[in-house]
Each structure stands twice: as structure tokens, then as C-alpha cells.
């Protein structure tokens, strides 16, 4: 009986981690769609103030690379999706650790306190509409 309880807890933890990872992947994909229409490469927005598929501003890049010095690179590297995701993850680890996907999206859009700004609610609605939940529901059915 004790082994069954331990196995159940372990399986639940693995599924919870998988759901969280899948949820984060879905969030990044949705933000990518909202920010650049899913484009990659040299995407410039916000009147030349944002760069790359996730539309990263220089100040956000500087903030993320100061927080996680292992990222390295230059601002121009934000043109690459993989690098942009590293910047996104560092920014989230700094300002949105253990927060909901809504809070994360709103912080990405509005800065460190963006989750408390009414101005970011519309952005969240756009991100939420672009989220893919197909794999998340599959994992939840395993629980």
C-alpha cells in the first residue's frame, strides 16, 4: 500500500511537471504568434524599438542577460527564436517565477509589474486565444 501511494505521488509529480512544461511551451508559442505572427528572423516592431520573433526591447534584453549571465550574446541575437526564448525564460525567472501564465504574459507585455496593469489585459486575451491546449489535455487524461 505504501509503495502504491509513493508511486501515485511520483506519477502525479511527473505529470504536473509535464503539464507545467507544456503550458510554458504553449505560452511561448502563443506569445510568438501575438508578437510577430509566428515569424522568425529579423522582425522589427514597436517603431524600431523591439527585435525578433518575441519582440524584445533592448532594456528587457539587458535586464534578462544581467539576471542570467550564462545567456551571453548580443542584442542582435534576439533575431533568433531559440535565443529569444532564453531571454523570455530569464525574464520570467526574474519577475514571474511561480506565477500563472496570465501573469507571465502580462509581465512580458507590460514589464515587471505588468500583471497588475489593466493595460495588459487585452494582450493576455490575445495570447490566451492563441494558446494550443491539445497536448495538455492528453497529459491530464493520464492523471
Give pLDDT, residue 70. Answer: 97
Whether the model pTM is above 0.85 = no
SS3 category, 99: coil
> In the numeric block, which cell numbers belong to residue 81?
527564436
Q: Mean pLDDT in runs of 10 for the chain (143 residues)? A: 45 39 76 95 91 97 97 97 97 97 98 97 96 49 39
Query: Which long-range CB contacts under 8 A does 55-60 form with residues at least 24 apart?
Result: 56/84, 56/87, 56/88, 60/87, 60/91, 60/111
Amino acid at each position: 500500500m505504501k509503495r502504491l501511494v509513493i508511486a501515485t505521488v511520483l506519477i502525479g509529480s511527473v505529470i504536473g511537471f509535464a503539464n507545467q512544461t507544456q503550458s510554458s511551451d504553449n505560452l511561448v508559442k502563443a506569445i510568438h504568434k501575438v508578437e510577430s505572427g509566428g515569424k522568425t528572423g529579423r522582425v522589427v516592431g514597436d517603431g524600431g524599438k523591439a527585435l525578433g520573433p518575441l519582440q524584445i526591447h533592448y532594456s528587457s534584453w539587458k535586464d534578462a542577460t544581467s539576471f542570467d549571465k550564462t545567456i551571453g550574446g548580443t542584442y542582435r541575437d534576439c533575431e533568433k527564436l531559440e535565443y529569444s526564448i532564453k531571454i523570455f525564460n530569464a525574464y520570467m525567472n526574474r519577475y514571474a517565477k511561480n506565477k500563472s501564465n496570465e501573469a507571465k504574459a502580462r509581465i512580458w507585455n507590460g514589464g515587471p509589474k505588468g500583471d497588475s496593469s489593466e493595460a495588459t489585459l487585452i494582450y493576455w486575451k490575445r495570447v490566451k486565444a492563441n494558446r494550443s491546449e491539445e497536448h495538455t489535455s492528453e497529459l491530464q487524461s493520464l492523471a
